[in-house]
Homo-oligomer: A and B are copies of this chain.
Amino acid sequence: MNTSARMLRLLSLLQTHRYWPGGELARRLEVSPRTLRRDVDRLRELGYVVDAVRGVAGGYQLRAGGQLPPLLLDDEEAVAVAVSLQSSAAGGTPGMEETSVQALSKVIALMPTRLRRQMDALRSQTERLPWSSGPALDPALLSTLAQACRDREPVHFTYTAAVRDGVTAEPTERWVEPHRMVSMGRRWYLVAYDRDRQDWRSFRVDRISEPRTTGQTFRPRTLPAEDALSFVQAGIRRMPHRYAVRVVFETGIDDVAAVVGRWATVTGTSTRAVLEMNVDSLEWPVFVLATIDADFSVESPPELAEAAARMAARFARSLPEAG
């Protein structure tokens, strides 16, 4: 066996089992104990911290050091990493979506197909989080786009624009130079230069399908905005959401903020909180009303008040008319 391959195996062994007697390691790697000691030295030279204990029942142990060693995952673990990164990328961990997608594309791009199949199977049986509205994002799609951004490869895809005034737009073919992925709230956007329209656009990732890259690369252009995030935000403000929610709660802002987190703005005092957010669907706001155990008043939109009234009526019907 090659020296490099042996180092990798050694790292792997040290990762899967906490404690190894030197003799055992030497036997597994099929080298003399002396060579093993040298291999351990080499690891240490690479910056990894390998503890050694002498005496009877001594041995080696890889410890946290200055840098993270290459992670050697077995199949199951790789699938677990990929699946959980998916949910993070889909908004499960606010503020970390971009990095999650980055890590996810690393893993997915290198995952053997058999593991990808396992991953798909697992993902489909995964429950949707209660508050996540809309279809779950396809992680393969996310990571394909993220890689295209990173590697500066033009992308073809089919885009189904938003429904406007009840008219469903026809799917269109796009041919873009991807610039960056942006995660806003629970949604992903691709900021890209549209080659046909010769202008910058932001695309909602959940409306993108069948992405294709050709393997070519393009020369990056400069985005006409401070950064990709502000570009997307500017676009969103121009296109208002369906409902502008405004609710006053008779409780402290902390209680409200604890529930809604970053998905909305909360202002007010320690006894009265004003919640404001823009949404397309009323599921989430109704859930918020139910969760926050405080009196409230819905200032807008009327549809939310109606939805809340419907729920109240349903409860009233369902509960016995006790005291």
Which residues of chain A have a CB within 8 Å of any CB of chain B?
A: 2-5, 7-8, 11-12, 15-19, 42, 45-46, 53, 57, 62-73, 75-81, 83-85, 87-88, 92-96, 99-100, 102-103, 106-107, 109-113, 115-116, 122, 125-131, 147, 150-151, 153, 215, 217, 258-259, 261-262, 286-287, 289-291, 293-298, 305, 308-309, 311-312, 314-320, 322
Instruction: Tell whether, in the assembled complex, residue A110 and residue B15 are in contact, meaning their CB atoms are under 8 Å apart.
Output: yes
Complex: A140 Cα to B175 Cα, angstroms = 46
User: Closest Cβ of chain B: how far from A137's Cβ, in Å?
Assistant: 14
Instruction: Tell whether, in the assembled complex, residue B315 and residue A315 are in contact, meaning their CB atoms are under 8 Å apart.
Output: yes
Given contacts A68-B112, A69-B110, 6 further A-B contacts (CB under 8 A): A8-B46, A16-B106, A19-B151, A64-B109, A95-B125, A309-B322
Instruction: Tell whether, in the assembled complex, residue B78 and residue A68 are in contact, meaning their CB atoms are under 8 Å apart.
Output: yes
Q: Which residues of B contact A318 (CB under 8 A)?
A: 295-298, 308
User: Closest Cβ of chain B: how far from A90's Cβ, in Å?
Assistant: 10
Contact of A291 among B19, B130, B322 (CB under 8 A): B130
Contact of A110 among B46, B64, B80, B290 (CB under 8 A): B64
* Residue on B nearest A78 in the bound complex, by CB: B68
Instruction: Tell whether, in the assembled complex, residue A103 and residue B130 are in contact, meaning their CB atoms are under 8 Å apart.
Output: no
Q: Which residues of B contact A215 (CB under 8 A)?
A: 19, 53
* Residue on B nearest A305 in the bound complex, by CB: B319
Instruction: Tell whether, in the assembled complex, residue A112 and residue B147 are in contact, meaning their CB atoms are under 8 Å apart.
Output: no
Instruction: Tell whether, in the assembled complex, residue A87 and residue B87 are in contact, meaning their CB atoms are under 8 Å apart.
Output: yes
Complex: A129 Cα to B305 Cα, angstroms = 25
Instruction: Tell whether, in the assembled complex, residue A312 and residue B309 are in contact, meaning their CB atoms are under 8 Å apart.
Output: no
Instruction: Tell whether, in the assembled complex, residue B314 and residue A298 are in contact, meaning their CB atoms are under 8 Å apart.
Output: no
Question: Of residues A2, A53, A71, A73, which shows the largest number of chain B Cβ atoms within 10 Å of its Cβ?
Answer: A71
Instruction: Tell whether, in the assembled complex, residue B93 and residue A77 are in contact, meaning their CB atoms are under 8 Å apart.
Output: no
Instruction: Tell whether, in the assembled complex, residue A4 and residue B42 are in contact, meaning their CB atoms are under 8 Å apart.
Output: yes
Complex: A18 Cα to B178 Cα, angstroms = 15
Question: Of residues A18, A65, A305, A317, which shows the largest number of chain B Cβ atoms within 10 Å of its Cβ?
Answer: A18
Complex: A318 Cα to B311 Cα, angstroms = 13
Instruction: Tell whether, in the assembled complex, residue B122 and residue A93 are in contact, meaning their CB atoms are under 8 Å apart.
Output: yes
Instruction: Tell whether, in the assembled complex, residue B96 and residue A92 are in contact, meaning their CB atoms are under 8 Å apart.
Output: no
User: Closest Cβ of chain B: how far from A273's Cβ, in Å?
Assistant: 14
